[in-house]
Amino acid sequence: MVFFFCRHKIHAMQKLLLFVDRISTWVGQAFSFFIIALTLHVSWEVFSRYALDNPRAWAFDVMIMFYGTLFMMAGAYTLAKNGHVRGDVIYGFFSPRAQAAVDLTLYILFFLPGVIALTYAGYFYAAESWAINEHSNITSEGPPVYPFKTVIPLAGAFVLVQGIVEIIRCIICLKTGTWPSREEDVVEVDVDKLKQELHVKDEDIQKLDQYVVKQERK
Amino acid sequence: MKLRKELWFGFSLIALIILPTLLLMPWGHLTNGHLGLMMLSLIVVGIMMGFPTAFTLMGMGVFFAWLAYRSVNPALANRQVLDLFVQRTYGVMSNDVLIAIPLFLFMGYLVERAQLIDKLFKSLHLALARVPGALAVATIVTCAIFATATGIVGAVVTLMGLLAFPAMLKAGYNVKVSAGAITAGGCLGILIPPSVLLIVYGAVAGVSVVQLYAGAFLPGFMLAGLYIGYVIVLAKLRPELMPPLPASERRVELPSYAQALRQYGSNALAGLSRAFTGRAAPGVGKRTVLAQLVVTLSPALFILAILGATYHSATSPEAKTDTAGLIEAGGAIAADASESEQSSGLIGAPEAEEENKPQEVAPPPQAEEKKPAADAQPAGAPAQKVPAPLWFWIVLAIGVATIALIYWLWSWERLEVYKMLLISFFPLAILILMVLGSIVFGLATPSEAAAVGGFGGFLLAAAYRYTAHVRAPADQRAGQGKAILATVKDLGTILKESSFLTAKTSAMVCWLFVGSGIFSAAFALLGGQELIEKWVLSLDMTPVQFMMLAQFIIFILGWPLEWTEIIIIFMPIFLPLLPHFGIDPLFFGLLVALNLQTAFLSPPVAMAAFYLKGVSPPHVTLNQIFAGMMPFMGIQLIALVLLYVFPQIGLWLPQMLYAR
């Protein structure tokens, strides 16, 4: 009965975790479209400067804002998909429980102080910018900067929430011995998809073995 | 619990770092500098534990920066740390160098999804069929081009593992040589610009990315050239490793009109012109003949256009060199030739004009970017002409000789291969050359060139996807409208996936910068940097020794760490030392980029090998792949030594272009 209860609780927990994952993913993906906007914006600016001889003063500011917002707001998304770079020397050889123990310790030791500091400091940084109605000083009459500075606490808060989810994942893993699942996402190297694109089937690769074996016999 | 071998290795490495730190620390009288060093050794351990590095840096940076401020004024410490952190973060967000990273990533993902690699490999394989070790050479060339455009090692190695590996194995190529060619070729994208590694280095070191790109150009191609040279020599010396291709693999399918026109002779130019001027061959329309004739003549027209442009820039008064003359000379058909030629006029460096070498592998006139002629019209036309110098006549002679040679060899088969290259190789090559050319010649900043390149990548993807839909096998072919619809649907997916991947990868790199911002600030505040500087200078090393030591440390770090971590976290420690030894940070960056190439190929952590293993037949072992990579790693070391001994390989181009 107790066992059942635990499993039930973990199941409910898992639902909540995936829900937060989905929010982070949705936010990150929504802001990821900024790259298309950025590409078009810069391409148009180049065209406008060379072909129409009509550079726009605020173009640089806008470029920077697209870029900064894009990567900051994708931070939680990347964390949700376990995409932040890890030094994989020994981590990969740990058992899931050991991995969770290391992660949990370091989340509390490094992640929480760092990200809380970022969010907290970012809040006042942005508030100050709002208070003085700050505009970019790269060009005269530059666009307002305060929305851009607001991105810092906002992104920090999303990362913080996602980090708490990751901490709960560590605890679940410590209890059950396996990592709770995540939802899938596009990956950089999707072998199955690449196989499909090149019309390579697994049998074809298996068939190739004869050539390798032939070489070994020689 | 029995520990695995790898864990033993890892733990002993950690102990190796922790123990000396603990033992050597003067615990009685700890200064801030010592804290800084402790922080450095802790971060290595922290990274090795496998926690996301960006957050390790953040946490440690905040803590140690707080310690540093507290030692000065405890009352203000909290505030100062928070201010420092948020300002550093904002610095990363508004960094005008790093902005090129998402743009280049996006371009890479788009090009990767354009589905052109199979066409590229096939046409290069046919074009190079007579070269010894043809398939391996074609593999390296394909990898070099594709990796340059995309910069994604994993994807390139996987794709080539699916495409070139089977082809090579079937042709009886040695497993090790084949694996080596794929893995080594796939890693070239890290070095050959536009590479993200160089942007990251530029941002960290404060070196101009433009100059880095100009500098990495020749070393990158030198490395690719060394690989190819090695493969060719090996194939000549030991043909059993790479047997020549059988005739069936080399044969080019001729379309029906070419077979009909063959009666006029085996030279395609002669045949086509005879068919065009006189008797029409049975079953071959005049339009086909004309189209083929245009394709056949395009290389000659292109070379002539370059020669004309060279003549103009050589004879027009130097002060007034302008783009207009070039465009007039080439006409619309040479629009993209003038695109690259313009530069010589625009940057205003007369030396650059000597650069117009017609014999370099030049893209054919694709006229992708037509400039309105009116825009290029100068206010005052150049008044006086200078007589053409001697070098121009030499260049002219070489150009004419090239044309003669091309058409002497222009058989029907070569025409077919040329057409294949025209649709697979040249568009990508032009895209890369345009992006690089506009950066190197100062027409656009790297981020601007990257954005335009991304747009070009999108157009490439659209064109290739559309042709794929139109030319689908007869049973599933759709009409024009359906093909367009399917293409749009494809493009939607491509854009979506590329955007998501770009967001994730840029977040990975740039959050690392956010973390290292506060971390390196803390390191500097604690005075760790000074301590290291003092220590290194007290060793009284010669510049050569220092350079060797630095490169060796980077090489070692390349085993456990990713290049992003090495450059973002550890480069700032080396960089302040460079002026003491009179080392150019640009040159150092080139060496680092070349050095980190080896990290991708050195077992046991070489990523490239694992990607290839993932798609190879089961009997190919990891050890075979590693063994295949070894000679190529040796070549990388040779290239490193060459670059070190002859720094001009890397510095000549930047010096010439920017008068460093």
Q: What is the 3-state secondary structure (H, E, C) of B55-114?
A: HHHHHHHHHHHHHHHHHHCCCCHHHHHHHHHHHHHHHHHCCCCCCHHHHHHHHHHHHHCC
Contacts of B428 (CB under 8 A, 6+ apart): B111, B116, B120, B145, B146, B149, B460
Distance from CA of B615 to the nearest CA of A (A): 8
Q: Closest by alpha carbon to B572, among B56, B198, B83, B203?
A: B203
Question: Tell me, what's the pLDDT at B336?
Answer: 40
CB atoms under 10 Å from CB of B286, counted, come to 10
- What is the widest separation between alpha-carbon atoms in chain A? 79
Whether B326 contacts B314, CB under 8 Å: no
Chain B residues with CB under 8 Å of A207 CB are 617
According to DSSP, residue B279 is labeled: P
Give the integer Cα–Cα distance in Å for A31 and B227. 42
Q: Please answer yes or no on whether A51 and B169 come within 8 Å at the CB atom.
A: no
What are the Cα distances from residue B407, in Å, to B366, B401, B410, B617, B628? 20, 10, 5, 43, 39
What are the Cα distances from residue B434, in Å, to A159, B116, B197, B452? 39, 18, 20, 9
Q: Please answer yes or no on whether A110 and B51 come within 8 Å at the CB atom.
A: yes
**For A71, which of B4, B49, B102 is closest by C-beta distance?**
B102
Distance from CA of B616 to the nearest CA of A (A): 7
End-to-end CA distance of chain B: 60
Q: Closest by alpha carbon to B634, among B327, B230, B340, B141?
A: B230
Residue A10 has pLDDT above 70, yes or no: yes
Q: Please answer yes or no on whether B82 and A212 come within 8 Å at the CB atom.
A: no
Tokens 């589905």 — which residue? B115
pTM of the predicted model as reported, rounded to 2 decimal places? 0.84
What is the per-residue pLDDT across B339-359, written as a single tens digit (0 to 9) for each? 333 333 333 333 333 334 344
User: Which amino acid, B48?
Assistant: M
**φ/ψ (deg, to 5) at B244:** -60, 150
**For B154, which of A163, A186, A188 is closest by C-beta distance?**
A188
Chain A residues with CB under 8 Å of B196 CB are none
Chain-centroid distance, C-alpha B588: 18
Count Cα atoms within 13 angstroms, Cβ side, for B122: 15
Find the DSSP H helices in B316-445. Answer: 323-330, 335-346, 373-376, 390-408, 412-440
Question: Tell me, what's the pLDDT at B16?
Answer: 79
3-state DSSP assignment of residue B47? helix
Q: Please answer yes or no on whether A75 and B507 come within 8 Å at the CB atom.
A: yes
Contacts of A30 (CB under 8 A, 6+ apart): none
Residues counted in chain A: 218
Q: What residue ranges of chain B have pLDDT lower than 50?
A: 1, 320-382
CB proximity A147 to B under 8 Å? no
Tokens 């079937």 — which residue? B170
Closest residue in B to A39 (Cα–Cα) = B451
Chain A residues with CB under 8 Å of B55 CB are 84, 106-107, 110-111, 114-115, 163
**For A33, which of B163, B174, B499 is closest by C-beta distance?**
B499
Number of H helices, E strands in chain A: 9, 0
3-state DSSP assignment of residue A135? strand
Residues 63-82 (A) with a CB less than 8 A from some CB of B: 63-64, 67-68, 70-72, 74-75, 77-79, 81
Question: Tell me, what's the pLDDT at A73?
Answer: 93
Whether B582 contacts B543, CB under 8 Å: yes
User: Which amino acid, A172?
Assistant: I
Question: Tell me, what's the pLDDT at B318?
Answer: 53
What is the per-residue pLDDT across A74-116, written as a single tens digit (0 to 9) for each? 999 999 988 888 877 778 788 888 889 989 999 999 999 999 9
End-to-end CA distance of chain A: 64
Whether B69 contacts A122, CB under 8 Å: no
Q: What is the DSSP string of B141-184?
A: HHHHHHHHHH--HHHHHHHHHHHHHHHHHHTT--HHHHHHHHHH
User: Which amino acid, A36?
Assistant: I
User: Which amino acid, A51?
Assistant: A
Question: Tell me, what's the pLDDT at A38?
Answer: 93
Closest residue in B to A208 (Cα–Cα) = B617
* B149-181 burial: b if 16+ Cβ within 10 Å, else e: bbbbbbbbbbbbbbbbbbbbbebbbbbbbbbbb
CB proximity B445 to A under 8 Å? no
Q: Please answer yes or no on whether B85 and A118 come within 8 Å at the CB atom.
A: yes
Q: Please answer yes or no on whether B98 and A67 come within 8 Å at the CB atom.
A: yes
Q: Write down the ipTM of this complex.
A: 0.91
Question: Tell me, what's the pLDDT at B229?
Answer: 93
Whether B328 contacts B378, CB under 8 Å: no
Q: Please answer yes or no on whether A85 and B562 come within 8 Å at the CB atom.
A: yes
Contacts of B650 (CB under 8 A, 6+ apart): B215, B216, B218, B219, B586, B587, B590, B643
> Left, alpha or beta for B356 (phi > 0: left; psi -120 to 50: alpha)?
beta
What is the per-residue pLDDT across B464-478, written as a single tens digit (0 to 9) for each? 888 888 876 655 655
What are the Cα distances from residue B466, in Å, to A40, B114, B428, B469? 22, 10, 16, 5
Tokens 């690259």 — which residue? B340
